[in-house]
Structures are given as C-alpha cells and as structure tokens.
Amino acid sequence: MGKEYSCSAQKVEVKSTVGAGDSFSAAFLSKYINNCDINKSLNHASKVAAFVVSEYDAVPDYQLEEFK
C-alpha cells in the first residue's frame, strides 16, 4: 500500500468556501511539481486555502510572500 500524508487545517473565520478545493489543489501542485516535498506542499496548500475561505471572493488578491 502507498503512504498517507496529512496536515493540520489552518484555523480561520470562514466567510465563503467557494474556491477552497481549487486553491488547495493548485497551491499543492505548484509546490510539488517544483520539487517541494509532499509535507511542505501540503502545508503551503493549507495556508492558501485557509486564506481563500477567509475572504468573500473566490479569487482574492494576495502576494505570494504572504504564504511563506
């Protein structure tokens, strides 16, 4: 069997869940395909998705540096 990976969800006040899955997937893949390990990719994706759900717009403005 394969390995399982997980990470803790970021605690934020949820305003809208629109875009949560898409932002998580995109953030994870952008790190992973650029040679970041799975755990770091998951943590990055969790931070990005948490930010997205804490905003009313599914594609809020942000600076990539906010997630480092």
| More confident position, 25 or 57 | 25
Residue 14: pLDDT band with limits 50, 70, 90: very high
On the 0-12 / 13-18 / 19+ scale of CB atoms within 10 A, 41 is: buried
Mean pLDDT of 12-28: 93
Q: Which tens digits make up the pLDDT trace of 23-56?
A: 999 999 999 999 999 999 999 999 999 999 998 8
Q: Specify the pTM.
A: 0.83
User: Measured between alpha carbons, how far is 36 from 27 in angstroms, rounded to an integer?
Assistant: 11
Contact 49, 58 (CB under 8 A): no
Of the chain, the end-to-end C-alpha distance in Å amounts to: 32
